[in-house]
């Protein structure tokens, strides 16, 4: 068996996440870490849909890479396994906690740029992520020696095709039109990115004055704006205002925001073409073909993808 599940990383109603070790054939001598999301086949619909979305986004360096799918027999059950890159640096939430929530403006700009590049690719392919939040942004320490990190968008379990019904996602990062009007489209993802960028620079949620009270948060979201951090640059404030435009038809798109002075290459000393070119190298650490984890690769008709 070329792969072994080593450690339980988390789980929920739709599956369990493991840290696994893959022994690359034919020598099996150099083990590599990967993340495996597992679910009983009969309940694997959301994981299977996530795999199909990730396959369409696999060329984007700012989105977690799908390395393959497989099935295994565990405790008498047929289990569907989704193979993903392992994020050595954990999540953006963990990074913010390690900094006591405060990330300097230039670094936050670098991370905002990467989030926008990733979500631009999601939107160009006709998808909406619907659940952008720090726990779903994965961290890969840069290999270029700059001391910063590469961010990749992960967890597409709640993602949808634009125009279809969607899911509200985490309340702290959801947009007013999503919460009150049931509109789950591309502008919703932009609002969530604004929330994350504000949280990076302030060390607290832009809704921190609600003190964790969901009822008060819903009331405030009906009439108030997220709190923009003080002590940040004018460019950063304007960027957040563009993300927090209440009218989703006026809210800036990812494409427009990438040209905003807060994240445009020429205005951020950490961003340059050389940095991005270097990060593009080795984007798929296991090569371009899918790997087999356990026994039999799964086919779309096997996993009852329309069922939960």
Instruction: Read off the pLDDT of residues 240-270 as tens digits, 9 standing for 90 and up.
Output: 999 999 999 999 999 999 999 999 865 565 6
Tens of pLDDT, residues 96-144: 999 876 899 989 999 999 999 999 999 999 999 999 999 999 999 877 6
- 208/221 Cα distance (integer angstroms): 12
Q: Which is it for the CA torsion 138, 116, 120, 227, positive or negative?
A: positive
The two beta strands, 149-153 and 66-74, are: unpaired
Q: Which of 70, 106, 131, 189 is catalytic?
A: 131
CATH superfamily label, 3-85: Phosphorylase Kinase; domain 1 (3.30.200.20)
Distance from chain centroid for Cα 176: 21
Mean pLDDT of the chain: 83
What angle, 0 to 180 degrees and rounded to 10, lies between the N-to-C axes of helices 105-124 and 234-243? 30
Q: Nearest Cα to 79, choosing from 21, 156, 5?
A: 5
Check pLDDT > 70 for residue 46.
yes
- 288/163 Cα distance (integer angstroms): 31
What's the rounded mean pLDDT across residues 285-305? 39
Position 144 scores a pLDDT of: 67
| Whole-Å CA distances, 104 to 74, 193, 261, 270 | 46, 17, 16, 12
pLDDT band at residue 13 under the 50/70/90 scheme: low
CB 101 within 8 A of CB 155: no
Domain ranges of the chain: 3-85, 92-270
pLDDT band at residue 25 under the 50/70/90 scheme: low
Active site residue 131: yes
pLDDT band at residue 298 under the 50/70/90 scheme: very low
CATH superfamily label, 92-270: Transferase(Phosphotransferase) domain 1 (1.10.510.10)
């Amino acid at each position: 068996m070329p792969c072994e599940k080593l450690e339980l990383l988390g789980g929920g109603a739709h599956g369990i996440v493991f840290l696994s070790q893959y022994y690359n054939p034919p020598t099996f001598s150099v083990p590599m870490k990967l993340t495996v999301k597992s679910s009983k086949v009969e309940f694997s619909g959301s994981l299977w849909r996530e795999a199909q979305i990730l396959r369409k986004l696999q060329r984007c360096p700012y989105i977690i890479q799908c390395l393959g799918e497989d099935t295994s027999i565990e405790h008498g059950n047929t289990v569907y396994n989704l193979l993903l890159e392992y994020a050595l640096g954990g999540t953006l939430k963990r990074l913010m906690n390690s900094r006591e929530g405060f990330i300097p403006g230039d670094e936050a700009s670098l991370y905002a740029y990467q989030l926008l590049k990733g979500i631009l690719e999601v939107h160009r392919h006709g998808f909406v992520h619907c659940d952008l939040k720090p726990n779903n942004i994965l961290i890969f320490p840069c290999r270029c020696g700059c001391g910063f990190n590469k961010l990749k968008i992960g967890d597409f379990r709640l993602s949808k095709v634009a125009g279809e019904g969607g899911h509200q996602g985490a309340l702290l990062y959801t947009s007013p039109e999503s919460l009150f009007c049931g509109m789950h489209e591309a502008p919703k993802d932009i609002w969530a990115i604004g929330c994350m960028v504000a949280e990076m620079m302030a060390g607290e949620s832009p809704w921190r004055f609600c003190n964790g009270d969901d009822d008060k948060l819903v009331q405030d979201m009906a009439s108030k704006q997220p709190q923009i951090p003080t002590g940040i640059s004018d460019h950063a404030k304007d960027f957040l205002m563009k993300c927090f435009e209440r009218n989703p038809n006026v809210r800036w798109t990812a494409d427009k925001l990438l040209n905003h002075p807060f994240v445009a290459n020429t205005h951020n000393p950490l961003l340059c073409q050389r940095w991005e070119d270097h990060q593009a190298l080795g984007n798929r650490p296991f090569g371009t073909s899918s790997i087999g984890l356990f026994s039999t690769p799964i086919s779309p008709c096997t996993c009852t993808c329309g069922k939960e």
